[in-house]
């Protein structure tokens, strides 16, 4: 009675012309990572956010998701790469981005609009148009379509899909097939897709899920907001199931990092 290994070898040999290694699992390799620019988070992630994969930054308002995403985009644009920011609720602040170090020349900002543009309004009947205008899904639909186009266009080092203000029930309605499509497109175009949201939407398609929580606010003199401190927890890491890294590192469960308003930095320089 041949063993299972022998049987597997015989089957694979007979199918080798059509399917190489038909019964062997595909080898998994450690993917490339890009530093976020925040040392504590990079230490937590052992390098940074994965390239060619979907990363999610989740949390409530004022939890530091946007600051972390801007720090990541700043580090990518500083390398001469171009990035895109898909702004579902038109909440992106260019001044904050510039203050975080983002080269705005290298950033494509897509601002979804709350009313359908002229092209689509010609084709849809009035009742349908009125109904679609009242739904937030229109914004989300624009954002998803824009993200899909950007991921498939290629050449963008990072695409940020900003769903941070989108209601959780609307984010949960995004089909899993959409996230799967994004994951495949990001992998093929070597692009880091960063999703900001209130909770994790991408499910199994996400390589990294970071939960951000506001920890502490500090003031100087009782009149100036001087810093906000955040906790970052790694909720999901798909690469954790792969074989250990060549140099094992002790990974912290969570990290803490701090942001400061622009006026305190200017004061320090002066």
Partner 1 sequence: MNFELYACVHAAELPAQALLRLRPELRAQPVVVLEGPAAQQAVCALNQRARQRGAVPGMARLDVESLPEMKLLWRSVQAETVARSILLECVSQFSPRIDDALGDACWDEGRQAGQATACAFVLDIQGTERLFGAPEQLAQRLRSCLSAAGFHVSIAVSANFHTARLVAAHRGGIRVIATGQEAAMLAGLPLTALGRDADLAEILAHWGIRNLGELAALPEAELVTRFGAKARAWSALAQGRAAHLFRPIQPALRLEEFCAFETPVAQMDSLLFTAARMIDCLAQRAESRALALATITARMRLEDGSWHQRAIRPALPSLDRRFLLKLVQMELGAHPPQAAVTSLLLQAEPGQSRQMQLGLFAPQMPEPSRLDITLARLKSIVGEDRVGSPVLEDTHRADSFHMLGFVADRAGAGQRPQNGSVQAPGAPERQSHRLSLRRMRPPRPVNVLLHADRPVAFHDRKQSFKITAAYGPWNSSGCWWSAATWESGPEPHGSAAWNSVEWDVLATSPDGAPCACLLSHHPQSNVWHLEAFYD
Interface of this chain with partner 1, residues 197 to 216, rule: CB under 8 A:
214
Cβ of residue 127: shortest distance to partner 1, in angstroms?
22
Q: Would you give the binding string for partner 1 spanning residues 76-95, x where CB under 8 A is met?
A: -xxxxxx-------xxxxxx
Among 11, 15, 176, 224, binds partner 1 (CB under 8 A): 224
Under the binding rule (CB under 8 A), the answer on residue 223 touching partner 1 is yes
The size of the interface with partner 1 (CB under 8 A), counted in residues, is: 76
3-state secondary structure of 150: helix
Binding residues for partner 1 restricted to 167-186, rule: CB under 8 A: none
Give the burial string for 70-101 (b: 16+ CB within 10 Å, else e): bbbbbbbbeeebebbbbbbbeebeeeebeebe
Binding residues for partner 1 restricted to 133-162, rule: CB under 8 A: 142, 145-146, 149-150, 153-157
Taking alpha carbons only, the member of 52, 68, 65, 107 closest to residue 84 is: 107
Under the binding rule (CB under 8 A), the answer on residue 229 touching partner 1 is no
Among 16, 22, 60, 124, binds partner 1 (CB under 8 A): 60
Cβ proximity to partner 1, 12 vs 261, nearer residue: 261
Under the binding rule (CB under 8 A), the answer on residue 257 touching partner 1 is yes
3-state secondary structure of 159: strand
d(CA 143, CA 111): 8
3-state secondary structure of 48: coil
d(CA 105, CA 168): 32
């Amino acid at each position: 009675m041949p063993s299972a290994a022998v049987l597997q070898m015989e089957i694979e040999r007979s199918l080798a012309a059509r399917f190489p290694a038909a019964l062997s699992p595909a080898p998994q390799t450690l993917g490339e990572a890009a530093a976020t620019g925040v040392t504590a988070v990079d230490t937590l992630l052992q390098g940074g956010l994965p390239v060619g994969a979907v990363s999610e930054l989740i949390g409530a308002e004022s939890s530091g998701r946007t600051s972390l995403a801007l720090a990541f985009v700043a580090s990518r644009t500083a390398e001469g790469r171009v990035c895109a920011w898909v702004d579902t609720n038109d909440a992106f602040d260019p001044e904050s981005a510039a203050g975080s170090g983002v080269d705005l020349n290298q950033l494509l900002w897509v601002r979804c609009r709350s009313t359908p543009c002229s092209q689509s309004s010609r084709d849809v009947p009035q009742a349908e148009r009125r109904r679609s205008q009242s739904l937030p899904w229109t914004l989300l639909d624009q954002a998803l379509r824009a993200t899909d186009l950007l991921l498939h266009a290629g050449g963008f080092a990072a695409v940020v899909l900003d769903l941070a203000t989108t209601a959780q029930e609307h984010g949960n309605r995004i089909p899993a097939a959409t996230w799967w499509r994004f994951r495949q497109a990001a992998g093929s175009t070597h692009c880091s897709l960063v999703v900001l949201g209130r909770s994790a939407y991408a499910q199994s398609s996400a390589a990294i899920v970071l939960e951000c929580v506001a920890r502490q606010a500090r003031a100087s003199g009782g009149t100036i907001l001087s810093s906000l401190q955040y906790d970052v927890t790694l909720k999901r890491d798909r690469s954790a199931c792969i074989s250990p890294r060549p140099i094992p590192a002790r990974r912290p469960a969570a990290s803490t990092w701090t942001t400061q308003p622009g006026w305190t930095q200017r004061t320090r320089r002066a």
